[in-house]
Protein backbone atom coordinates (compact mmCIF):
# COMPACT_ATOMS: atom_id res chain seq x y z
CA UNK A 1 0.00 0.00 0.00
CA UNK A 2 1.46 3.35 -1.05
CA UNK A 3 1.66 6.12 1.53
CA UNK A 4 0.57 9.63 0.52
CA UNK A 5 1.26 12.78 2.51
CA UNK A 6 -1.52 15.29 1.80
CA UNK A 7 -0.38 18.85 2.52
CA UNK A 8 -3.52 20.97 2.49
CA UNK A 9 -4.73 23.80 4.74
CA UNK A 10 -8.38 23.65 3.62
CA UNK A 11 -10.27 21.15 5.78
CA UNK A 12 -12.88 20.29 3.14
CA UNK A 13 -10.18 19.60 0.53
CA UNK A 14 -8.20 17.49 3.03
CA UNK A 15 -11.25 15.43 3.95
CA UNK A 16 -12.28 14.90 0.33
CA UNK A 17 -8.79 13.84 -0.78
CA UNK A 18 -8.28 11.61 2.24
CA UNK A 19 -11.59 9.77 1.83
CA UNK A 20 -11.25 9.29 -1.91
CA UNK A 21 -7.62 8.18 -1.84
CA UNK A 22 -8.20 5.77 1.04
CA UNK A 23 -11.12 4.25 -0.90
CA UNK A 24 -8.65 3.66 -3.75
CA UNK A 25 -6.38 1.75 -1.35
CA UNK A 26 -3.83 4.41 -0.41
CA UNK A 27 -2.68 5.11 3.13
CA UNK A 28 -2.78 8.84 3.93
CA UNK A 29 -1.28 11.28 6.40
CA UNK A 30 -2.01 15.01 6.72
CA UNK A 31 0.01 18.20 7.11
CA UNK A 32 -1.68 21.61 7.15
CA UNK A 33 1.26 23.89 6.27
CA UNK A 34 4.70 23.78 4.73
CA UNK A 35 6.57 23.44 8.01
CA UNK A 36 4.42 20.46 9.01
CA UNK A 37 5.06 18.99 5.57
CA UNK A 38 8.81 18.98 6.28
CA UNK A 39 8.49 17.29 9.68
CA UNK A 40 5.74 14.86 8.56
CA UNK A 41 7.84 13.80 5.54
CA UNK A 42 10.71 12.81 7.82
CA UNK A 43 8.42 11.07 10.33
CA UNK A 44 5.95 9.41 7.94
CA UNK A 45 8.32 8.66 5.02
CA UNK A 46 5.62 8.90 2.31
CA UNK A 47 5.91 7.37 -1.13
CA UNK A 48 4.48 10.55 -2.68
CA UNK A 49 3.42 14.03 -1.52
CA UNK A 50 0.40 16.04 -2.66
CA UNK A 51 1.45 19.63 -1.95
CA UNK A 52 -0.98 22.54 -1.94
CA UNK A 53 1.06 25.53 -3.07
CA UNK A 54 -0.82 28.27 -1.17
CA UNK A 55 -0.19 27.37 2.46
CA UNK A 56 0.21 29.32 5.71
CA UNK A 57 3.48 29.46 7.68
CA UNK A 58 5.58 28.15 4.76
CA UNK A 59 4.09 27.96 1.26
CA UNK A 60 4.20 24.87 -0.92
CA UNK A 61 6.83 26.30 -3.26
CA UNK A 62 9.28 26.83 -0.41
CA UNK A 63 8.48 23.49 1.23
CA UNK A 64 8.97 21.69 -2.11
CA UNK A 65 12.32 23.40 -2.71
CA UNK A 66 13.47 22.42 0.77
CA UNK A 67 12.37 18.77 0.38
CA UNK A 68 14.08 18.49 -3.02
CA UNK A 69 17.35 19.85 -1.59
CA UNK A 70 17.55 17.28 1.21
CA UNK A 71 19.33 14.01 0.47
CA UNK A 72 16.79 11.90 2.40
CA UNK A 73 13.70 13.43 0.73
CA UNK A 74 14.82 14.56 -2.74
CA UNK A 75 13.57 11.44 -4.51
CA UNK A 76 10.02 11.54 -3.10
CA UNK A 77 7.70 12.61 -5.95
CA UNK A 78 5.74 15.79 -5.24
CA UNK A 79 2.51 16.71 -7.01
CA UNK A 80 1.76 20.40 -6.72
CA UNK A 81 -1.93 21.20 -6.21
CA UNK A 82 -3.19 24.70 -6.77
CA UNK A 83 -6.10 26.80 -7.96
CA UNK A 84 -3.42 28.87 -9.73
CA UNK A 85 -3.83 27.40 -13.20
CA UNK A 86 -1.91 29.82 -15.40
CA UNK A 87 1.08 28.49 -17.32
CA UNK A 88 3.40 30.68 -15.23
CA UNK A 89 2.09 28.94 -12.08
CA UNK A 90 2.74 25.50 -13.55
CA UNK A 91 6.27 26.59 -14.49
CA UNK A 92 6.81 28.02 -11.01
CA UNK A 93 5.72 24.67 -9.49
CA UNK A 94 8.08 22.72 -11.74
CA UNK A 95 10.92 25.17 -10.98
CA UNK A 96 10.35 24.60 -7.25
CA UNK A 97 10.79 20.86 -7.83
CA UNK A 98 7.26 19.51 -8.34
CA UNK A 99 7.31 16.33 -10.38
CA UNK A 100 3.76 17.07 -11.58
CA UNK A 101 1.24 19.87 -11.15
CA UNK A 102 -2.54 19.48 -10.93
CA UNK A 103 -5.05 22.29 -10.74
CA UNK A 104 -7.99 22.62 -8.36
CA UNK A 105 -10.70 21.64 -8.26
CA UNK A 106 -8.98 18.26 -8.38
CA UNK A 107 -9.99 15.83 -11.12
CA UNK A 108 -9.62 12.66 -9.03
CA UNK A 109 -9.14 10.24 -11.92
CA UNK A 110 -6.45 12.45 -13.47
CA UNK A 111 -4.79 12.81 -10.07
CA UNK A 112 -4.83 9.02 -9.52
CA UNK A 113 -3.25 8.54 -12.96
CA UNK A 114 -0.54 11.08 -12.09
CA UNK A 115 0.13 9.38 -8.75
CA UNK A 116 0.38 5.96 -10.38
CA UNK A 117 2.79 7.25 -13.05
CA UNK A 118 5.06 8.78 -10.41
CA UNK A 119 5.05 5.72 -8.17
Q: Where are the domains of the chain?
A: 3-118
Phi, psi of 4 (to 5 degrees): -120, 130
State the greatest distance between any 2 C-alpha atoms of the chain, in Å, as a whole number: 34
- Helix H or strand E segment including 113: helix 108-118
Cα separation, 42 vs 66, in Å, equals: 12
Q: Assign residue 91 a region: left if phi > 0, alpha if psi is -120 to 50, beta otherwise?
A: alpha
* Whether 68 contacts 98, CB under 8 Å: no
Superfamily of domain 3-118: Response regulator (3.40.50.2300)
pTM of the entire predicted model: 0.94
Q: Determine the 3-state secondary structure of 58 from DSSP.
A: coil
pLDDT at 103: 87
Q: pLDDT tens, 9-45?
A: 999 999 999 999 999 999 999 999 999 999 999 999 9
Band the pLDDT of 92: cuts 50, 70, 90. confident
CA 1 to centroid of chain Cα atoms? 17
Average pLDDT over residues 46-72: 94
Amino acid sequence: MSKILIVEDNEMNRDMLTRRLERKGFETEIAINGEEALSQTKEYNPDIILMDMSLPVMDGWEATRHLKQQEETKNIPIVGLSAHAREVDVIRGKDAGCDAYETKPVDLERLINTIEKLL
